[in-house]
Amino acid sequence: MSSNDETTDISKRERIVNVMQAIGFVAALVVLGVAAWWFGWGDYLIGEEGISRLQQIVDENLALAIAIYTGSLIVGGVVLAIPGFLFAIAAGVLFGPILGTICYVVGATIAAVIAFFAGRTFLKGFIKPIAMRNKYLKRWLYDEVQRDAIIVLLITRTFPVIPYNVQNFAYGTTDIDPWTYTWGTALFAIPGTAVYTFAAAGAIDESQRVLYMVIAAVLLIILFVVLFILNRKYDILKR
């Protein structure tokens, strides 16, 4: 057999493996999605009734409420692709701005790490070709991340031009160090999360409404200033 034939056979085997891995992953997501629907995990954070139910648990057993919230966030973030800001708002309503921010950042980071390692291990051959077709993903995650991972994490986590759920899987297909990815994801998620948690807490807490809303507004202004500076330096939205 010639070297060209051997190369072709290896490529075919790699494609088959990639497809089988992708099918297995999708099947696992479907199973988890069905389980989430069957056991009503999403009901705790979707709609007024779900929030009220979890608020009751907060009053009776804070640790259990945090565990349910974190589990729902991980399933929602990895499996159901529910936008993260909804969970951040729920955290502010349920736990207040400080504890809410901590709960969201911890849960979102766990979800991000799970997706990262899924992308790095058995989904790399499937995710990377798809991610490379997105101009922002290609630029920041494949062209820029090798140069300065911290700046790239700051930009993509603080200003999600690309949805977090997509970023998490795609980051796994890069050469970024897992530890850098983990602490960078957690750290740079804090400011944006705090805007939502303070605003949500202020909306329901009349006694602290002005204070919380002012803090949320100040944080938002700071984020816009940082965005302006970074955009001038790195041209974030460049096509």
**What does the domain layout of the chain look like in residue ranges?**
3-234
- How does pLDDT run across 139-169, given as a tens digit for each residue? 778 777 666 888 888 888 887 667 787 788 8
pLDDT (0 to 100) of residue 49: 61
Q: Are 107 and 63 in contact (CB under 8 A)?
A: no
Q: What is the pLDDT of residues 165-200, one digit of tens each?
A: 778 888 988 888 999 999 999 999 999 999 999 999
Q: The whole model's pTM is what?
A: 0.79
Quick one: what percent of the chain has pLDDT higher than 70?
A: 71
pLDDT tens column, 46-74: 555 666 777 888 888 999 999 988 988 88
- What per-residue confidence (pLDDT) applies to 216? 95
CB 70 within 8 A of CB 100: no
More confident residue, 151 or 101: 101
Query: Do 198 and 104 contact (CB within 8 A), yes or no?
Result: no
**Ranges of H-type helices in the chain:** 3-39, 47-60, 62-78, 84-95, 97-120, 124-131, 135-137, 149-158, 164-171, 178-204, 209-234
Residue 235's pLDDT is what? 74
* Cβ atoms 193, 88 nearer than 8 A: yes
Average model confidence (pLDDT) across the chain: 78
Q: What is the C-alpha separation between 98 and 95, in angstroms, rounded?
A: 8
pLDDT > 90 in the chain, percent = 30
Whether residue 57 contacts residue 70, with contact meaning beta carbons closer than 8 Å, is answered with no
- pLDDT of amino acid 97: 96
Question: What backbone phi and psi angles, to 5 degrees, belong to 79?
Answer: -95, -50
Give the span between the Cα atoms of 211 and 199, in whole angstroms: 10
Does 36 or 130 have the greater pLDDT score? 130
The per-residue pLDDT for 6 is: 43
Degrees to nearest 5, angle at CA 46 with 57 and 200: 75
- pLDDT in the model for residue 77: 72
Of 13-22, 111-120, 154-163, 174-183, where does the model show the most confidence?
Answer: 174-183
**Rg of the Cα atoms in the chain:** 20
